[in-house]
Each structure stands twice: as C-alpha cells, then as structure tokens.
Amino acid sequence: MCGMRLPVIRDRPSVSAWLMACRSIAELASLVTPYSSGERIHLARLQPGLHSPSPCVTAAAILGDYVGRAEGQSTTSMRIHLITAESPESRRLRGWRLIQFPQLTMPLIAALTPREHDVYHTDEIVERLDLERPADLVGITAPTPSALHAYEVADAFRRRRVLVVMGGPHATALPEEAAEHADAVVVGEAEDTWPRLLEDAAAGRLERLYRSTHRASLDGLPAPRWDLIKGRHYGRSVTIATRGCPHRCDYCTIPLLYGPGTMRYRPVDEVVREVAHSPTRAVVFWDDNIGANPRYSKELFRALAPLGKWWTSQCTATAARDEEFQRLAAASGCKALFMGFESISQASLDSANKGHNRVAGYRELIRSLHQHGIAAHLGIMFGFDEDDRGIFRRTVEFLEEASVDVTTMSMVVPMPGTPTFQRWQAEGRILTTDWSKYDGKKHCVFRPARMSPEELVAGTEWASRRFYSLRSITRRMWGSRVGVWWNLPRNLGYHLALRRYPEPGWDPGPTQHEGLAAHRRIIWPF
C-alpha cells in the first residue's frame, strides 16, 4: 500500500499456499512507501478526482450517483482511460496476487462517469500501461512518490494530443506543479467536479483547475465499476465505511484532502449490504480511522457479526482503547487492526500534534487486543525532532516485549502541503523535492534535529532488521499467539526480504533493557 499494512486473511492455507504467501510478502516487504496516515501507506490516500488507492479518499471521490446528463446537456461520447500510477517500489509488486487488493478510487470515478462514455482502467501496480491505447481523455491519480512517473505518463499522452486530467493528494497540494503536465487538475474531492469536468471536456471548454465546493455525503455511494478490474490480479475485497479523521497530525495529508478534523459516514445498512455481497470471505476496510465515532463503529460491528466475514482496518490507538469496541470488533470478524502508534516517545508525539496517543497505555492496549484475538499491526516512524540515536533500540525493545505482531517502520516523510513540510521548509531543512525519494525508507529528504540524515536511514534499516530477525519473530509470535498461521508467514516474508539488503553498519548503542538478552534464552516454539 503501498503500504500493504493489513494482513491477507483467507481460509486456513495449505503448506504450499503458506509458502507462497511468505514469498509474496517478501516481495512486498522490499517496497516501502511512506507509512504514516495521510499517505501510507499510504500509496493510498489519493484524492478522489483521480487518484490512487485510498479508501477514504477513494470514497471521497466517488460518492454521488451521477449516472447521466440532464436533458439539454452535451452527449458527446469520449474514450476515457483512467490510470492509477505506479511508483518505483510498487513496480515490483506486479504478479503477486496474494498481497494485492483492488484500489477503489478509479473504479469509483468510473461510477461517476456518464454511461455514454467508454471507460477503461489501468492499475499500474498490477499491470503494464499501454501508452498507445486510443483515448480522448486520460485521468491519472498518483501519490507523491509516484508523481514524477505520473508526469512522464501525462507528458507522453499529451504529445499524442490526448487531454490529460490529474488529481490526488500531490496534485491537491501542488496544483500549479501538476498543471505543467496536465490540461486540467482536480483539487480536493471530485464528486461535484468530475461530472462537470467531463461536460466541459466534451464541449471543448476545459478549465485548468477544478476545486470541490462542498464536502460530499457518503449516502448512496455508487457501486464501483468492478467490471473494469482485472480480477485475476487480486485476492481480497475492499470497501470503506467512513472518510476522514478527527485529528490533525502535522505530517498527515488527510486534512488537506477532506478538511481538518472532518468525518463522514456511510449508512450502516449500505455498508453491510456491500460486505455481504463481497466475493471473498476476507474484507479490507480501507478507512483512515474506522473507530473515530464509537457509536457508529459499534453499530456497524453489531450489523456485520451475522455475516461471518473476516476483516481488517485502521484506527487510532485512542479509538482502540475502548474495551467494548474491541469485543464487538472481534465478534464481527476483526482479525487485525493497523494503528499508527508512530513513536514510543511521548515528546515526539506531542511535537507532531499527535498528543492524543498516550505511550503509557500502549502496552495494555496491545495486551487487551490479543486477549480478544485481534492482532496488533503498528505503524512506527523515526525522525521526529525529539528523536535521538537511542530511539531505534528503545523502540525495538518495546515492540518485542509487547509481542507486537507486525510493524511497518519508516522515516518521517514531510509530504507537501502538510504543516511538517511547511515548517521544515521555512527552517531550510528540506533537502530535496525529488518526489521519487519521498519513500520513507531508503531516502531521508530532510535534515533531522538530533542526528544526521545518514544516521536516520541506517537506524531505520537496523530497527527493521532487528524486529524481523528470527529471534525477534520467535519471541513475539510466542508472546502473542494470535493469528500465528498468517502473522508468521508475513513476518518471515519481511525477514527474507530484508536479507537482500546489506547490513546498515549501524551501532545502536548499549542494550537498555533485559528484553534483548531474553532472545538467547527463548525456546523455539514451532
């Protein structure tokens, strides 16, 4: 997802399928996209107008049931090619069906498109783009790490005199930059702008910028155009129940896309009906914070329980602390929750406007989730202004001692348009605007406050290696014992992937807790 942070959940696999999953996840683990909310993972938080895989975003873009033009409007038919752009990391994901699930944005955009138009979709994450395919209009969505590639694709189509429209978080943050490579740019949500844009394109009066004028309701969300999806590439169903997040973390792009502190909800009966008809038992809720409104989420979980589905989603640590939330989620089929813990340093969280996360409650939260049979999948970021060289070892020690099932580790990525980017740019700390390096793993794009950029890269790599070492995997799986049959393959996949890279040559300093020494005493449980 790229950040594929949620587990693959299927019927209990055969040995061969289990080994295939390990291999698939090994491929996935070698790709790292910015993990934090806002763009994780998001190769997914792209904007509705034309973007990429975000569930909330995706939802955001497509919420109105626009099925045709009103009487008297133009009926000129166009060939429309919708493209979900790849990044350098996602390029290697092609062909790994076990770790893929459909991206919602473009199928939803297609659902907003009047029926007289001929719509085709290419998801570059799983298939190759045909630049020679005939088209009258091309729509491209891309997150920041994919932006430069998306511009190359846009330029190639424009050289053929094809109209190009761009949208998503990056285009929303930097519309003037995107406009250099497109005939039109969609800024913000697309429910009200996409139909109007198509009218203007058909009439030959396309404007340069299209900005949303209101926050769309999620009532009556149209069914995505799944007929445009190449089903052989995907193994899981995807949907959304909510859009947005009530918090305003400084590094997150969600407020930029949906408005600061805003939340919207789909009617529970519509969500349940869609899940009931999903073709797979496993469902991914690609919400940014499915627990933002406890009353809504609990009503949803009660309604999902009779379906017998398995599901995963994202929520904040704040929402997940509610014991009734955990109990109802587990009863409705929740197998894992991805939570952005971000840091084990309260000072670091406070500095990023994420003080609602309370480090003191982390350990108890993980223990309680495990008691309910829910795996804890965490997002951790390094490089906050309060982070020093010792943060890497302290973090790994905590994660091991708490028996965390899976963790996505990355550096802080100052995405354009966020308060973090604006502050560091004003301080002269942004090192590059080569957006392809905004991957969160292999490149540090800013000057950290308490270490060098090279130390931040090496420390992040060291922490990932240590967490996914065989000793750490053994200890954590033995401590958690939740969903071992699918968490273990995921951990082993990351372990194998990390072995492909040279040792970072990082000295994390002396051990601070006895927890690490316990590795030498633990007995292999399998």
Domain limits, the chain:
15-41+237-520, 55-211
pLDDT value at 375 more than 70: yes
Average pLDDT rounded to a whole number, residues 169-184: 96
pLDDT value at 180 more than 60: yes
Sign of CA dihedral 510, 513, 518, 519: negative
**What does pLDDT average to over the chain?**
82
Average pLDDT rounded to a whole number, residues 245-268: 92
Class of residue 283 by CB neighbours under 10 A (exposed 0-12, middle 13-18, buried 19+): buried
The pLDDT of residue 503 is 67
pLDDT value at 328 more than 90: yes
Q: Could you give the CA distance from residue 188 to residue 111 in angstroms, rounded to a whole number?
A: 18
> Is the distance from CB of 504 to CB of 461 less than 8 angstroms?
yes
The pLDDT of residue 226 is 77
Alpha helices, DSSP H only, in 215-283?
Answer: 254-258, 268-276
pLDDT, tens digit (0-9, with 9 covering 90-100), for 214-244: 888 899 888 888 788 765 556 568 899 999 9
Q: Which pair of structure tokens corresponds to residue 199?
A: 């009218």
User: Do 15-41+237-520 and 55-211 share a fold?
Assistant: no
Average pLDDT rounded to a whole number, residues 355-368: 97
Radius of gyration of the chain (CA): 22
Q: Could you give the CA distance from residue 201 to residue 316 in angstroms, rounded to a whole number?
A: 41
The pLDDT of residue 507 is 66
Average pLDDT rounded to a whole number, residues 461-475: 96
Strand order in the sheet with 118-123: 118-123, 79-84, 137-141, 163-167, 184-187, 209-211
Residue indicated by tokens 């309604």: 303
pLDDT value at 333 more than 60: yes
Picking from 313, 215, 297, the residue whose alpha carbon sits closest to that of residue 264 is 215
Cα distances (angstroms) measured from residue 519 to each of 280, 394, 467:
39, 16, 12
Average pLDDT rounded to a whole number, residues 191-195: 89
Q: What percent of the chain has pLDDT over 90?
A: 61
The pLDDT of residue 224 is 80
Helix or strand (DSSP H, E) at 117: none
Sequence-ordered list of residues with C-beta below 8 angstroms from that of 259, at least 6 positions apart, any chain: 215, 244
The pLDDT of residue 509 is 63
The pLDDT of residue 89 is 61
pLDDT value at 96 more than 50: no
Confidence band (pLDDT; 50, 70, 90) for 104? confident
Cα 412 to its chain centre, rounded Å, is: 15
Picking from 239, 230, 179, the residue whose alpha carbon sits closest to that of residue 207 is 179
Q: Which pair of structure tokens corresponds to residue 112?
A: 């907003």
> Is the distance from CB of 47 to CB of 60 less than 8 angstroms?
yes
pLDDT value at 120 more than 50: yes
Q: Could you give the CA distance from residue 412 to residue 456 in angstroms, rounded to a whole number?
A: 10
Average pLDDT rounded to a whole number, residues 306-332: 96
Helix or strand (DSSP H, E) at 342: strand 334-342
Average pLDDT rounded to a whole number, residues 55-74: 33
Beta pairing, strands 242-244 & 184-187: unpaired
Q: Could you give the CA distance from residue 330 to residue 337 in angstroms, rounded to a whole number?
A: 10
pLDDT value at 62 more than 50: no
pLDDT value at 388 more than 70: yes
The pLDDT of residue 506 is 60
Q: Which pair of structure tokens corresponds to residue 388?
A: 């020093």
Class of residue 520 by CB neighbours under 10 A (exposed 0-12, middle 13-18, buried 19+): exposed
The top-scoring range by mean pLDDT among 20-34, 141-155, 271-285 is 141-155
Q: Which pair of structure tokens corresponds to residue 221?
A: 């969300």
Average pLDDT rounded to a whole number, residues 480-490: 88
pLDDT value at 36 more than 90: no
pLDDT value at 52 more than 50: no
> Is the distance from CB of 170 to CB of 143 less than 8 angstroms?
yes
- Greater model confidence, 502 or 66: 502
Residue environment code for 110-141, b if the CB has 16+ CB neighbours within 10 A, otherwise e: bbbbbeebebbbbbbbbbebeeeeebbbbbbb
> Is the distance from CB of 109 to CB of 61 less than 8 angstroms?
yes
> Is the distance from CB of 134 to CB of 101 less than 8 angstroms?
no
CATH code of the domain made up of 15-41+237-520? 3.80.30.20
pLDDT, tens digit (0-9, with 9 covering 90-100), for 418-441: 999 999 999 999 999 999 999 998
Confidence band (pLDDT; 50, 70, 90) for 101? low
pTM for the predicted model, two decimal places: 0.80
The CATH number for 55-211, chosen from 1.10.3470, 3.40.50, 3.40.30, 2.60.40, is: 3.40.50
- Greater model confidence, 433 or 3: 433
